[in-house]
Amino acid sequence: MKLSSPIKISYKNLMAAKFRSFLTILGIIIGIASVIIVMAIGASAQQLILNQVSGAGSNLVGVLPGASDEKGPPASALGIVTTTLKQSDLDAVLLKKNVPNAIAASGYVSGVATAKYKNNSNQASFQGVSADFINVEKNDLSFGRFFTSEENSGLARVAVLGTSKAKELFDSEDPIGKTFSLKDVNFTVIGVLAPKGGSAISNPDELVYVPLLTAQKILLGIDYLNFMRIKIDSPENVDRAVADVKYTIRTQHRIKNPSDDDFSVRDTAQALTILTNITNVLKYFLAGIAAISLLVGGVGIMNIMLISVNQRIREVGLRKAVGARNRHIITQFLMESVFITLVGGIIGIIIGIIIAFLASVIINALGYDWEFLISLSSVLLATFVSIAIGLIFGIYPARKASRVSPMEALRYE
């Protein structure tokens, strides 16, 4: 029996009941499209996050409060408030005798408050940072200046705005020298950062930056840091700097056994590895949830094939009467099942790619540097899954059809 014969028969049967066939493959279309969309958006989001981290530089070391496994994030990275990191730790790290390769460092705290200027009022995310922030984060100023160490230690009420926040608060006015309120505290604008673009982590263009101690003592009422970042003189010295930072903070916290660490130190390479692992887990977990609809589609395929067997008993009997064997009947029904799921899979892949592309256009329009990523492996996997569903859920109807005896079929009305 030629391979083209079952395919032709499958196509003929599919066209004979177009609406029923469409309803049958709808579950496959939705399932495959969902998997493609999740994989594409997940890959793009992952790339966005990794680009932002790697773009910060390969010579950065981050310190977060709370202990963690070397391969996982500390609790503070998951939103759990940990108060073990202090300003004194940052001061100790900046001493050349402790970390000789550190050239700049900044502590960070953050919050959300209402920003007001005249009749303009909106929610603003603010970040308290050290004067070294401008050097650590590779930021440039569009105009104005950044605040100084003296202004930080003096609890100065000055602010530097992200470019989008400056436009949002002051419209077309020049913000330099203007006063606005944040949490009912008046701040004077001394600078505006150059546009940097949004990320999945944060959008610096939307932030309000104030001196670290001002944010701690006046806006938040806390005495701890959310995290700190340290810039190292060269990537080759990062490993040594990490060891120096750990030793310095252990000394600060009077920790003798590393297993008792109440902080976590990560360099950029480690952060990239951890973020890749976390985002991979999330991506495949979401893809697995989306794939559940494929099971529903598979059950639909099996049901329609069982109905098809009952409707075509006479056909099966006639084919057996003229010499068709059980394997020919099984092949025919399996081919029909695979044909239906493959058609649904191809349509689902096309729909998934289109929706993922439209999502990338919309997200880019919102100001994020979003790449449209469709991997060949995800398309091939979706195709393979479509064929596998056709085979798995088509086996039972095909075997049932092959057991029909010619005599019984010829008597069937």
- For residue 65, what are the β-bridge partners? 263
Tally Cβ neighbours within 10 Å of residue 117.
Answer: 18
Greatest CA separation for the chain: 100
Environment class of 212 (CB within 10 Å of its CB; exposed 0-12, middle 13-18, buried 19+)? buried
Average pLDDT (166-184) is: 91
Residue 278 in this model has a pLDDT that exceeds 60? yes
Average pLDDT (200-210) is: 80
Residue 325 in this model has a pLDDT that exceeds 80? no
User: Element (H or E) spanning 190, and its range?
Assistant: strand 185-193
- Among 251-265, 278-292, 343-357, which is the least confidently predicted range? 278-292
Identify which of 210, 253, 233, 266 has the alpha carbon closest to the alpha carbon of residue 92. Answer: 253
The answer to whether 333 and 305 have CB atoms below 8 angstroms apart is: yes
Average pLDDT (73-98) is: 79
Confidence of residue 122 (pLDDT cuts 50, 70, 90): confident
pLDDT digits (tens, 9 = 90+) for 332-354: 777 777 888 888 888 888 998 99
pLDDT for position 248? 93
- Residues 89, 373: Cα–Cα separation, whole Å: 42
Amino acid at 16: A
Domain residue limits, the chain: 4-52+274-411, 83-261
pLDDT for position 15? 61
Residue 380 in this model has a pLDDT that exceeds 80? yes
The answer to whether 45 and 363 have CB atoms below 8 angstroms apart is: no
- Residues 194, 162: Cα–Cα separation, whole Å: 7
Amino acid at 96: K
pLDDT for position 247? 92
- For residue 102, what are the β-bridge partners? 232
pLDDT for position 359? 86
- Residues 255, 49: Cα–Cα separation, whole Å: 33
Distances (CA, A) of 285 to 6, 30, 71, 289, 338: 37, 17, 19, 6, 26
Q: What are the tokens at 19? A: 């609406």
Confidence of residue 83 (pLDDT cuts 50, 70, 90): confident
Residue 385 in this model has a pLDDT that exceeds 60? yes
Three-state DSSP at 160 gives strand
- Among 61-65, 294-298, 315-319, which is the least confidently predicted range? 315-319
pLDDT for position 9? 60
- Residues 133, 215: Cα–Cα separation, whole Å: 14
Residue 378 in this model has a pLDDT that exceeds 60? yes
341 or 99, higher pLDDT:
99
pLDDT for position 270? 62
pLDDT digits (tens, 9 = 90+) for 132-160: 998 888 778 888 999 999 999 999 999 99
pLDDT for position 97? 93
pLDDT for position 140? 83
Strand residue runs (E) in 46-157 = 60-65, 102-117, 120-129, 141-144
Average pLDDT (300-310) is: 71
67 or 406, higher pLDDT:
67
The answer to whether 288 and 298 have CB atoms below 8 angstroms apart is: no
Mean pLDDT for all residues in the chain: 80
Strands 60-65 and 207-211, how do they pair? unpaired
In angstroms, the first-to-last Cα distance of the chain is 28
Helix ranges (DSSP H) in 17-56: 18-55
Three-state DSSP at 197 gives coil
% of the chain surpassing 90 pLDDT: 28
* Tally of CA atoms within 13 A in the half-sphere of 226 that contains its CB: 17
pLDDT for position 3? 46
DSSP string, 344-387: HHHHHHHHHHHHHHHHHHHHHHTTB-------HHHHHHHHHHHH
Average pLDDT (163-181) is: 91
